[in-house]
Amino acid sequence: MLTLAECTPLAPCRNCKKGLASDHAIPATGHQHSDYYRDLLSDMFNLIQSANAPRTDELLEIIRDRGSFQDVRSFLDRALTVTHGSEQPEGASHLIQKLQQEYEVESGMPAFRPKVMDVHYLCDFAPFKVPAHPWTTATDDDALVSHLVSLYFAWDYPFYAFIDCDVFLQHMARGDTYSDFCSPFLVNALLAQACHYSQYSEAYTVPGDVKTKGTDFLAEAEKYLENSRYQKGSVVRLASLQATIILYEMYSMAGIDDYGYMMLNHALEMGEALGIINNPTPLDLARLNYSDEMTMSLQRTAWGLFQIDTIVHANFLRPSRVTDVSIERSDRNTSKPTDLWIPYPIDRRPRPSWLSQCFDEACELSYIARDISRALGSGERDQATLSQRKQEFYTNLREWNAKLPVYFSPERKPAPHIIILQMRYHALLINLYCDSFSEKPPFDSIANKRKRRDSLESNSLEEALRSARSISALVQLHRDEYGIDRAHQFAMYAVMLALFAFLEQRTFSVHDHDFRALTSAFSVMSRRSHVGLKIFQVFRHSVRSRLREDKLADFANLPSGLKELLGDDPQAVPASEGGYFENAGKLVQGEAGDEGEEQQHVASGIGDMLSMYERLSLGKEEEFEGRQRSADGFRFSPPR
């Protein structure tokens, strides 16, 4: 359950709800609020007076459709960028473009008027108010820290939920750095990860450079990381384990060497040392006389770690390392219908969180994912046995989905973590059939050379395509209700998997509505991380290569936006008789000197894409195992 610091317009109490004119109400109190409305009104006048009739009509249409103030603000930022660029003398438009480039962030078109102080304005509505001191030296700004903590618990936390939110916030507010539930290591790791969900310049070390998001906080977290490595056995600190899990997420988005697997393995070792996973004797927390706070936090962390382990290994078809969780699960019915998820900082209505119910369903799904990862990652080649196991997994997955609560239904427009949980279900269905078509050249686009597929493979492709379309529908729901620029990073994996499931199809068409919608979403999600940018480039060249032998005829009729995303100079992907597979053995190493190779690389199929995604985000597990790093090896953030 997410507790609110106070009643706010974005998180109104029951009495205040009655007084709000609409879900889009924004109060006009205080100096910053007055500035906001004055700028909004001034820009509306400027647009109307510019005699730009089409833009003015669009503005009026937004207002007639009951668009929010933020919708109008966003439209004016785009419209005035064009208007000012055309009306200013030569040189002024170049200045505007320069400003755009400096402040471009993952949500698409940057604001025409970058506002460094917006984070303080937003903090007035932040659900959680917490201090910067004594937790971090990267900033002394309580407003920024409150903004980032609120972002983390809105967008990142609910999917894994391996921290007890209430306990953490209470101990952070107390300022006790020796607490078992909050530490400078955990806070700085959390703030670094939260920066990926912020669109404001304070989240960047270098404005506009996605690789520097949160690196000031990360540099401080890494100072504590080495100390945590000496915590062994019963002296492992729970907050250190939680911080290590967050660093796994951070490093996997950054895509630096094999730090992702390093952090995941380190977290699993810490969990085993605490006895909360893979313990032959289950822990009796009642007999150990743990406090309620410790019991709830251990349950969250143990089962959250189980989910992460099964997601990672099922994603890349590798055997899960967690056999079982050694403590009982938290109460499924902790969350009440009145507990709300707050979509901070966007202007959307709160939704029932159903956090404990979602967590419990995710744990059930993780058992199926664990078994799938072990069956498909074991190297089993007995096709009869494997086919039987797959049918069992398919049945288990369908039964899990059928038993979901009715309030999880997409028609109810649930909170985003519930939407992404269902993306995970469909991603598992696609994973289940990946090896049915990963050893053949499925992207060969010449129909008369295509081999006849057997019925099992054909059924696998059909099932994968159905799930890909379901992922498309879920992504569109997320986009309609909350936008996708803050979607949890798992959504990017699910979208990528769905797109390559489309590319596997015999009758693939770049004009397919779901394929186009997923491509658009992928282009937005990918901008949030270094790995995302690389993966999107591989996808883009893979699509072009898939269509190249058709003379790229399909591109002629594409909408201009999609054409810009997928289009390129045909010479950018070198032609060869092998067509799609000319670079299947290569992998981008990732920095400036290899950009030419990156531009040329395409995936030979869904299996190759998964292998690339794994290497780029986590490293290669078999290359990591058994190796030790030097003390200064844990370093992603730039030296300060």
DSSP string, 46-110: HHHHTT-HHHHHHHHHHHHTT--HHHHHHHHHHHHHHHHHHHSPTTHHHHHHHHHHHH-BTTBSP
Instruction: Please tell me whether residues 458 and 546 are part of one structural domain.
Output: yes
CA dist list (Å): 511 to 122, 320, 477, 492, 518: 40, 38, 21, 21, 12
**Rounded distance between C-alpha atoms, residue 361 and residue 404, angstroms:** 8
Asked whether the predicted pLDDT for residue 604 surpasses 90, the reply is: no
**3-state secondary structure labels for all residues of 196-218:** HHCCCHHHECCCCCHHHECHHHH
* pLDDT for 87: 39
Global confidence as pTM = 0.76
What's the pLDDT tens digit per position in 81-140? 544 434 333 333 333 333 333 333 333 333 333 344 456 666 668 899 999 999 999 999
Two tokens, residue 56: 């003015």
> Is residue 378 in a domain?
no
What is the pLDDT confidence band of residue 208, given thresholds at 50, 70 and 90?
A: low
Instruction: Please tell me whether residues 198 and 111 are part of one structural domain.
Output: no
Domain with 149 in it: 138-315
> Is residue 251 in a domain?
yes
> Is residue 206 in a domain?
yes
> Is residue 507 in a domain?
yes
> Is residue 289 in a domain?
yes
Instruction: Please tell me whether residues 113 and 142 are part of one structural domain.
Output: no
* pLDDT for 603: 85
What's the pLDDT tens digit per position in 321-371? 999 999 999 999 999 999 999 999 888 899 999 999 999 999 999 999 999
**Rounded distance between C-alpha atoms, residue 359 and residue 381, angstroms:** 34
Q: Of 57, 88, 119, which residue sits at a domain end?
A: 119
Q: Of 294, 315, 336, which residue sits at a domain end?
A: 315
Q: Which residue has the tokens 């750095």?
A: 177
Instruction: Please tell me whether residues 531 and 583 are part of one structural domain.
Output: yes
* pLDDT for 193: 94
What is the pLDDT confidence band of residue 23, given thresholds at 50, 70 and 90?
A: very low
What's the pLDDT tens digit per position in 477-528? 999 999 998 999 999 999 999 999 998 887 788 889 999 999 999 999 998 8
Q: Of 315, 350, 366, which residue sits at a domain end?
A: 315
Instruction: Please tell me whether residues 146 and 114 are part of one structural domain.
Output: no
**Rounded distance between C-alpha atoms, residue 386 and residue 408, angstroms:** 32
H or E element: which one contains 351? strand 351-352
* pLDDT for 570: 39
What's the pLDDT tens digit per position in 550-603? 555 566 666 677 777 776 543 333 333 222 222 333 343 443 334 344 445 788
Instruction: Please tell me whether residues 470 and 418 are part of one structural domain.
Output: yes
Instruction: Please tell me whether residues 586 and 617 are part of one structural domain.
Output: yes
β-strand partners of 108: 105
Most confident option among 191-205, 369-383, 389-403, 434-448: 389-403
How many C-beta atoms surround the C-beta of residue 614 within 10 A? 20
β-strand partners of 341: 351
Instruction: Please tell me whether residues 586 and 523 are part of one structural domain.
Output: yes
What is the pLDDT confidence band of residue 80, given thresholds at 50, 70 and 90?
A: low
> Is residue 456 in a domain?
yes
Instruction: Please tell me whether residues 419 and 467 are part of one structural domain.
Output: yes
The whole-number average pLDDT for the span 62-76 is 78
> Is residue 14 in a domain?
no
What's the pLDDT tens digit per position in 400-423? 999 999 999 999 999 999 999 999
* pLDDT for 206: 56
What is the pLDDT confidence band of residue 426, given thresholds at 50, 70 and 90?
A: very high
Specify the number of domains making up the chain. 3
**Single-letter code of the amino acid located at 394:** Y
Instruction: Please tell me whether residues 145 and 251 are part of one structural domain.
Output: yes
> Is residue 15 in a domain?
no
SS3 state of residue 22:
coil
Instruction: Please tell me whether residues 103 and 202 are part of one structural domain.
Output: no
Instruction: Please tell me whether residues 111 and 148 are part of one structural domain.
Output: no
The interaxial angle of helices 165-174 and 292-315, nearest 10 deg, is 120
